[in-house]
Amino acid sequence: MEAKAYFINLRVSPKKARFYLPAIKKMKPAESLEFLMYESTDAAVILYKAIKSAIS
């Protein structure tokens, strides 16, 4: 089953958020959450929240 999560009015540029997408697309959701947990950028935090929201 496919799930989508939308976040609007974010204070991170799309270019900075796209930095993590090639690595995350190949992972399962649980693995990507673990990967993003150790990243310290704002984009990683927002992607972490988005994936967690889509899972639940």
Rounded distance between C-alpha atoms, residue 36 and residue 24, angstroms: 9
Q: What is the pLDDT of residue 28?
A: 94
Assess contact for 39 and 50: CB atoms under 8 A: no
pLDDT in tens, the chain (56 residues): 788 888 888 889 989 989 999 999 999 999 999 999 999 999 999 999 999 999 98
* Cα separation values, 43 from 1, 22, 30, 46, Å: 25, 14, 18, 5
